[in-house]
Structure 1
């Protein structure tokens, strides 16, 4: 059997769990209507439809480890000339912070929530949120996951109000390597001021076989 292993790396982490459809509760409501009401019925239960149930129970749910109020991120990608200091550039451009990402810098404004949850890592305080550019941030979740070599992990939006999770596919090398740098992370784009509570569902992750990406369609 193919196995996926989750590991808690930080005490505050909320490790993903498999979704479950409560068929007994759904059928209980159906029977209640039939027994006690003259007209109202529930005859076509989604819980009695195997394809629907399999879709609902697919993969694992990624949940928020914290309660906070994210807002849309104002960011701008910049270069810092070799003869200038990053702090001077930030002050000159009226931005609160500069974040180094590769060869460029990302400037952010009005985003105190990015720093509110810095956590204690192996080498001191680390950022839970790191700007990615284009209004998105990398959210480090404090747990690791190991998937079989050659397999892939699909990350899907779960529909949390005010948050958009870009659709993405990660290789086993990337997924398994995240355990050494703050744990698994997802890209998140706040689209409006919202409230996220600890335990809220953020995304769904699904294991994919590599042949899923190699399949080709043909029309006869």
Structure 2
């Protein structure tokens, strides 16, 4: 059986946890209506459907390590010519927050929450959030994960409708190398203002066998007719 190991890199981090469906609570509510109400009923329970339960309990829930209010990110990618200063260029494009990504820059505005969650490391203060472009942000979560070689990790969205989480498939080599002070990171894109509390589920992490990415569709068998 494949094993996955999570490590808390930062003291504020919340390592992923498996999600478990509360079957007893659902059945208790069904029985309550049956025993005490004239009309109200729960005719069919999702918890009695094994495929639904397996889908709900698949993988591990990624939880927010902080309480905050996110707003959509309006960003612009730009480069800075050698003969021009950084601030004059920022003034021209009407953006106040500047982030260097590689050799170029990303500028944002009205996103103070990006700067408000710097965390302390042995090398100094680091940012929890880094703009990625296209309205997305890299969210550094403060924990690491080790998965078996040749496997992959699938990141999918959580239950918060306002917070888009682009689907991502990451190979084990990359996953296991995320051991910096920021730990594992995911991409998120707040499409509407949204308040998130520490501990709220924001995404899900699923382990993928390499066969799931290499599977091919078999040719249809010839009909006997």
TM-score normalised to structure 1 length: 0.94
Offset from partner CA, 1:101-123 (integer Å, 9 cap, x none): 12321111121111000111231
The aligned counterpart of 1:81 is 81
Matched, 1:30 2:30: yes
The aligned counterpart of 1:107 is 107
Structure 2: segments with no counterpart, 5+ residues: 221-225
Aligned residues of 2:13 and 2:141 also touching (Cα < 8 A) = yes
The aligned counterpart of 1:54 is 54
Deviates more, 1:196-205 or 1:39-48: 39-48
Structure 1: segments with no counterpart, 5+ residues: none
Instruction: Quote how far apart the aligned CAs of 1:76 are.
Output: 0.5
The aligned counterpart of 2:40 is 40
Aligned residues of 1:161 and 1:194 also touching (Cα < 8 A) = no
Provide the aligned C-alpha RMSD in A. 1.6
Deviates more, 1:3-12 or 1:90-99: 90-99
Instruction: Quote how far apart the aligned CAs of 1:28 are.
Output: 1.4
Offset from partner CA, 1:165-215 (integer Å, 9 cap, x none): 001101111111112241011101111111111111100110000110111
> 1:53-202 residue pairs with structure 2 within 5 A?
53-202=53-202
Deviates more, 1:23-32 or 1:169-178: 23-32
Instruction: Quote how far apart the aligned CAs of 1:92 are.
Output: 4.4
TM-score normalised to structure 2 length: 0.92
Aligned residues of 2:9 and 2:181 also touching (Cα < 8 A) = no
Q: Distance in 1 between matches of 2:200 and 2:148?
A: 28
State the number of aligned residues. 220
Deviates more, 1:89-98 or 1:206-215: 89-98
Offset from partner CA, 1:38-75 (integer Å, 9 cap, x none): 44333421111111111110001111111111111111
Q: Distance in 2 between matches of 1:93 and 1:41?
A: 59
Instruction: Quote how far apart the aligned CAs of 1:86 are.
Output: 2.8
Question: Which stretches of structure 1, 4 residues or more, deviate above 4 A after TM superposition?
Answer: none
Q: Distance in 1 between matches of 2:178 and 2:84?
A: 33
Aligned residues of 1:96 and 1:109 also touching (Cα < 8 A) = yes
